[in-house]
Amino acid sequence: MYYFTSDVHLGAGDEAFARRTEQRFVKWLDKVAEDADAIFLVGDIFDFWFEYGKVIPKGFARTLGKLAELTDRGVKIYFFIGNHDMWSRDYLERECGVKILYKPQRMTLAGKELFIAHGDNMNVGNKPMLKLMNTGFRSRTLRLLFSWLVHPDLALRFGQWWSGKSRKSHAKDRITPKSLDFLLDYARDYKKEHPSTDYIIFGHMHYPYDYSTKDLRVTFLSNWDDEVQYAALDREGNLSLKTF
C-alpha cells in the first residue's frame, strides 16, 4: 500500500491544539506503517519550518522520533516541500531518514503513473504578487542572508507569525469544488502533455475531493483541522480517499 497525506500544519494553533494534532498524526503514521510500501507527506507537514546549519525549530519530538523509527524499520517516507516548510535543508533526511523532494514528482507505483505535488505556486501567472512572493521565498540567496543576519529566536518568531497570519487570512474563505479550478486546469494541461498519467494528487487546498472524468483523475487531500481524509493506493493500482 502507498499512503498520501498533507497539510498537517504541525505547530499551528495554541499549545493544546498543536499537541493534539501531533498526537493524531503520529497515530496515523503508526496505522499506515503496518502495511505501507511507502508513505508520502505531500507538503505543509509543519506550519513553519526553517533550518539553520546547526539549529532546527523547537518541538515536534514525537513526529521526528516516529519518522526516524519508521525509516529505521525500512519504511520509505517521502517528504514534499510545501509553502509552509519550503526552507528545509538536510536535517529531516540526515537524521530522520526521509527523502526530501523539492519539486513535484512523476512516479510509477503499483503499475500506475502518478504526478504528485503540493499544489502551491502552480498556475499562478494571473497573480503577479503571489508569484513574486513565492520566487522570493524560494530564493537560495534570500535564505542564506536570512540565516546569517537573523537570530534563530527572531527568525522562528517571525515565521510563526507569518504562517499564522496567512492561515487566518484564509480561515473565512469558503472552499468549494470551484476553488480547485486553477489546479484542475493545471492537471488537464499536464495530462495533455503526459497522456499516460493515471492519477494526479494535490495537497494545499485543505479540501478533500476526488475529481474523475473518462480521461482524468485528480485527488485532493484534506488538512488535519477536523476529519482527516488521506489517499491510499493499493497494490492493484486502485486509488481512494480514506477517513482517519
**Position with higher pLDDT, 50 vs 195:** 195
Question: What's the pLDDT tens digit per position in 93-129?
Answer: 999 999 999 999 999 999 999 999 999 877 666 666 5
**Superfamily of domain 2-243 in the CATH hierarchy:** Metallo-dependent phosphatases (3.60.21.10)
Which residues are CB-contacts of 133 (< 8 A; sequence separation ≥ 6)? Answer: none
Question: What's the pLDDT tens digit per position in 148-186?
Answer: 777 877 777 777 776 766 666 555 667 788 889 999 999
Q: Which of 38, 25, 5 is nearest to 234 (CA)?
A: 38
Stated pTM of the model: 0.89
**Position with higher pLDDT, 53 vs 195:** 195
What per-residue confidence (pLDDT) applies to 165? Answer: 66
49: Cα within 13 Å, side-chain hemisphere: 25
**Position with higher pLDDT, 34 vs 177:** 34
Question: What's the pLDDT tens digit per position in 224-237?
Answer: 988 999 999 999 99
Q: Which of 211, 224, 151 is nearest to 181 (CA)?
A: 211
Burial of 231 (0-12, 13-18, 19+ CB in 10 A): buried
